[in-house]
Amino acid sequence: MPEAPDIDLRNLKCCFRILILLGGYPEALTRPGAARLWFTSYVQTYLERDVRAVTAVKDLSTFRRFLALVASRHGQILNNTDLASPLGVSVPTITQWLGVLETTAQVLIVPPFGPWPGRNSSAD
């Protein structure tokens, strides 16, 4: 059986960090100096084309803030009221917008593991 090649873990950590920050998109990886512009354009295109194809979001600037707020809270317990409050929108609006993010494959909402008797893990 052939031996596994030696791997420089420092280099691997660096590469992993770059992939996390740049998302593995070829344009962002091949031109890191232009990555910020590319991501700004990506978000703008997502808002104008993909979001509008799914639903009629009236205020794209608030939806953009919602997108940033959701991204900043990844891996946490979902609380729609906590998302609605700083944006000044209703909880049903947040629920609808989360559906848009799920439909367009921007988020995956993971249900809680195991039973939580008498407790609602996705508080609205």
86 is in which domain, residue-wise?
A: 56-111
pLDDT tens track for 93-102: 999 999 999 9
Tally the domains of the chain.
2
- Report yes or no on 44 lying in a domain: yes
pLDDT tens track for 31-59: 878 888 888 888 888 888 888 888 878 88
Euclidean distance between CA atoms 73 and 63, whole angstroms: 15
For the segment 14-24, the average pLDDT, to the nearest whole number, is 75
Euclidean distance between CA atoms 116 and 84, whole angstroms: 24
Q: Which of 45, 41, 101, 52 is nearest to 74 (CA)?
A: 101
Euclidean distance between CA atoms 13 and 10, whole angstroms: 5
Longest dimension (CA), the chain: 62
13/3: higher pLDDT: 13
- Report yes or no on 71 lying in a domain: yes
- Report yes or no on 119 lying in a domain: no
